[in-house]
Chain A
Amino acid sequence: EVQLVESGGGLVQPGGSLRLSCAASGFTVSSFEMNWVRQAPGKGLEWVSYISTTGRTIYYADSVKGRFSISRDNAKNSLYLQMNSLRAEDTAVYYCARSLSGNEDAFDIWGQGTMVTVSS
């Protein structure tokens, strides 16, 4: 079964750091572009970051640029999001999402999400 499973969420103080992981199964992550999307409680979806198959092309939302870092380990079939200098407004469910082959702007497989709460 094609699946993405996120982990690493939790409660962190403002200014702190957290590293999210996304483990893929049923497919080879090295063959797909990958993304992170977040959803604040009761709010809509917000695209966070994109990484190409090789990892050489990376994009970030303005709201996280300079604080978050996306990476991938194709050998571990996994995607990561390093989040630094966390703010209250980063509180959200974070989803990793696979780009549809040939249509990198469409996300066809989503994980179940991991909750990140930034609070003192």
Chain B
Amino acid sequence: QSVLTQPPSASGTPGQRVTISCSGSSSNIGTHNVNWYQQLPGTAPKLLIYSNNQRPSGVPDRFSGSKSGTSASLAISGLQSEDEADYYCAAWDDSLKGVFGGGTKLTVL
């Protein structure tokens, strides 16, 4: 059971906009920044969004993040086949540990 809650799966067709939710509590998302990671099959995770809505250099602006209260969302617009991957939200927790969501498997139909 992950501390942060994500839907196990999501899907969309090419060109569509997809959102993935991440729910936490006052001790993690409610107090700390949310980060998002993309993990392509068989590879290490890649930082996609940090500090709720910041994109590292090289991440397309099709990816965006937002946070409100104890929840956060990742939005992917103009969905492409290469976006098919697992997506994880993460945050720091007041109990002095990092916490991840269980991951969302995105399928591009």
Contact = CB atoms under 8 A, between A and B. Distances in A.
Q: Is chain B found bound to chain A in the same assembly?
A: yes
Contact of B97 (A59, A103, A110, A113): A59
Nearest to A95: B44
- Dominant secondary structure of chain B at its interface with chain A: strand
Contacts of A37: 45, 98
B100 interface: yes
A47 interface: yes
A49 to B, nearest CB: 9
Contacts of B50: 100, 103, 106, 108
B46 A45 contact: no
B24 interface: no
Interface in B4-56: 32-33, 35, 37, 39, 44-47, 50-51, 56
Contacts of A100: 47, 50, 56
B88 interface: yes
Contacts, number: 66
A16 B86 CA distance: 32
B45 A45 contact: yes
Contact of B56 (A44, A46, A97, A108): A108
Interface of A: 35, 37, 44-47, 50, 59-62, 95, 97, 100, 103, 105-108, 110-113
B90 A45 contact: yes
Given A95-B45, A105-B90, A112-B44, A44 B103 contact: yes
Contacts of B51: 103, 106
A107 B35 CA distance: 9
B88 A45 contact: yes
B97 A47 contact: yes
B98 to A, nearest CB: 3
